[in-house]
Amino acid sequence: MDIFISIPFLIFLPMAASFLLMSPLFTNNEISIRRFAKSLCGFHLIYTIILFAFFNAANPYTCKLSFFGQDWIESLGIQFAFKIDGISMLLVLLTSFIFFIASMASKMNIRKSHKFYYSMLLLLMSAVLGIFTANDMFVFFLFWELELIPAYFLIGGDFGHEYKEESKKSAVKFVLFTFLGSMIMLLGILLLHYFNYNSANILSSVFENIITTNIPTSIKYLISICFLIGFGVKLPIIPLHTWLPDAHTNAPTPVSMILAGILLKTGAYGIYRFNYQILGDIFSNFAGILAVLALINIIYTAFVAYTQKDIKRIVAYSSISNMGLVLLGLCAFNQIGLSASVFHMIAHSFVTAGLFMICGIVYLRCKTRDINSLGGIAIYMPRLFGFASLIVLASVGIPLFAPFIGEILTIISAMFSDMGTVLKLTAIFSLPLLIISSCYMLKFLHEGFMGQVQEKFSKINDITVHEFVILASITTGLIFLGIFPFVVLNMVG
């Protein structure tokens, strides 16, 4: 099976396809462009599933690219190294799946500039895959920054969707926040690289070669804070979250699915890979503070979500709330917490992808996202209402759906954590999330779909076969992981 495994192929195939799409060699025909991108994403998903099926967490996939027999920047000990362990494998598979359904959803939501849109979509896919598989700090940072370029154009571009001038402002805000966080993160990488060389007498930025035992404690605290700020912007951690609701609301529906389903997870993955693994002794000292911030994420944004009128903003704020649970699982600093954090990342990706898909369908049919202007559309769109009901029930943590497992494991991990009383208190106070999330998500369902039937929506059509397949895939994933959580948990363990 090893002869079929190629990490460079996995990462750079979408990038090569992106360059091909942008070149004059590729046709400008809308249908051909869409089918090419969708087929490429579908092939990538099948290839990733095959790798996942034969993957052994005890024997990670590794790869190092050389250039004319030398490392990338040999004089600085920087290697173009990649590694796929259990957590990386799960996130790579999740990335491939989310981008595939986003490419399918683009058929209904993207009306012009198809060549540019799909090329940016595939380029973003390569950048995210590079983040999840990089085994060198500077290679990680390279892909982290590369992701900004396509994300900026996808958020702010006019692709014939519900485009507004605010989209450009949201894209600029996203780039400024992320770039500022990246510069602070780069400072942490440079400090870690410099002091690692001085203390261990080696020159390498590969994760396995990073030694921190001889680095002064004050410097390790500074490095850890730099990483927490850099990754906290993307997670996001309050008060670094203000870019997210605008970006989610003004981006095209497929881009919103990717932002919430994948890009937020790069922040959590960065905290895991840098703060949790490399600087674990310092991260454990921050656990109590971060747990309080996680609690604020969970509770505050849940209340804000309940007050929103735009259904997309409800889902956006719910994402911040749920990422607080992911952070809380990491703060527990035990195996259950790590498993809960990764599991909830995956469960949340399915939920938000489904909810944003529903928001997009509602807007396409009803030409509004104002929850006060909707209502009564369930009778005209029974199939969409059925999927919306299932996904909303999953989001509030009903048993037999994946989020239930993530939420319960997170609370248990915090309760049994050795990080002090703060974690236990945070776990107790997090329990109201189950009630608050039920309030704003049931409001989303009740006021958006039920209530008095409105004559102005009498001619809208129910979901198409294309939309049915997307929502059915998401719902199946939520149920499957809710019944068979060990598929994910065993990989993390």
Q: What is the pLDDT of residues 304-322, one digit of tens each?
A: 988 899 899 999 999 998 8
Mean pLDDT (whole number) for 319-339 = 91
Q: Which amino acid is at 160?
A: G
Within-domain flag for 85: no
Lowest average pLDDT, out of 163-177, 273-287, 304-318, goes to: 163-177
Mean pLDDT in the chain?
89
Q: Within 54-147, where are the H helices?
A: 86-109, 114-133, 137-146
Within-domain flag for 97: no
Q: Which amino acid is at 220?
A: K
Query: Is the per-residue pLDDT at 482 higher than 90?
Result: yes
Within-domain flag for 76: no
Residues above pLDDT 70, as percent of the chain: 96
Within-domain flag for 325: yes
> What pLDDT is recorded for position 158?
84
Q: Which two tokens stand for residue 328?
A: 């809380």
> What pLDDT is recorded for position 127?
97
Mean pLDDT (whole number) for 472-479 = 96
> What pLDDT is recorded for position 10?
93
Question: When comparing pLDDT for 418 and 234, which is higher?
Answer: 234
Residue 334: domain span: 279-493
Within-domain flag for 382: yes
Helix (H/G/I), strand (E/B), else coil: 160:
coil
Binning pLDDT at 50, 70 and 90, where does residue 78 land?
Answer: confident
pTM of the predicted model as reported, rounded to 2 decimal places: 0.94
Residues whose CB is less than 8 angstroms from the CB of residue 31 and which lie 6 or more positions away in sequence, other chains included: none
> What pLDDT is recorded for position 113?
85
Residue 80: in which H helix or E strand, if any?
Answer: strand 80-84
- In the chain, the number of structural domains is 1
Within-domain flag for 311: yes
> What pLDDT is recorded for position 196?
77
Q: What is the pLDDT of residues 37-65, one digit of tens each?
A: 999 999 999 999 999 988 888 888 888 88
Q: Which two tokens stand for residue 178?
A: 């992320």
Residues whose CB is less than 8 angstroms from the CB of residue 269 and which lie 6 or more positions away in sequence, other chains included: 87, 91, 131, 132
Within-domain flag for 107: no
> What pLDDT is recorded for position 4?
61
Cis preceding linkage at 236, omega within 30 = yes
Mean pLDDT (whole number) for 162-189 = 88
Query: Is the per-residue pLDDT at 357 higher than 90?
Result: yes
Largest CA distance in the chain: 75
Within-domain flag for 221: no
Residues whose CB is less than 8 angstroms from the CB of residue 373 and which lie 6 or more positions away in sequence, other chains included: 366
